[in-house]
């Protein structure tokens, strides 16, 4: 559904892309896939279509969403490059304007960065 919503918002008319999507949808929703396949101008059944090729380059993430928590309670989310180090993530989280109200008048005891999951800032005071 996320893919369909993204393609709808982009007003996608790329027949090759839509055909691959319909072929991938066919095992899960065969009846609607057949209707969509015919609407794309194909005369044979979607079941006879060739499965889309697997391309690993599309699975690489360039950005990760991390929850920023204070004393174990998640407060907001931030996006970071997938290649960011723990030190860079820690520095960016502490510098964010949304973190200021949780840090105001408090002492940072420890910052725990769990890669690709969460940043927990432990404060006292």
SS3 readout for the chain: CHHHHHHHHCCCCCHHHHHHHHHHHCCCCHHHHHHHHHHCCCCCCHHHCCCCCCCHHHHCCCEEEEEEEECCEEEEEEEEECCCCHHHHHHHHHHCHHHHHHHCCCEEEEEEEECCCEEEEEEEC
- In the chain, what are the domain boundaries? 2-57, 63-124
Residue 103: pLDDT band with limits 50, 70, 90: very high
- Quick one: what percent of the chain has pLDDT higher than 90? 82
pTM over 0.75: no
CATH number assigned to the domain covering 63-124: 3.10.20.590
């Amino acid at each position: 559904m996320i893919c369909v919503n993204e393609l709808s918002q982009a007003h996608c008319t790329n027949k090759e892309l839509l055909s691959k999507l319909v072929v991938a949808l066919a095992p899960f929703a065969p009846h609607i896939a057949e209707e969509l396949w015919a609407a794309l101008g194909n005369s044979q059944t979607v079941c006879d279509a060739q499965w889309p090729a697997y391309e690993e380059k599309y699975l690489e993430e360039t950005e990760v969403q991390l929850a920023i928590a204070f004393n174990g309670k998640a407060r907001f989310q931030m996006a970071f490059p997938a290649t960011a180090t723990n030190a860079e993530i820690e520095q960016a989280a502490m510098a964010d304007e949304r973190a200021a109200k949780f840090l105001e008048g408090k002492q940072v005891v420890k910052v725990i960065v769990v890669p690709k999951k969460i940043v927990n800032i432990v404060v006292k005071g």
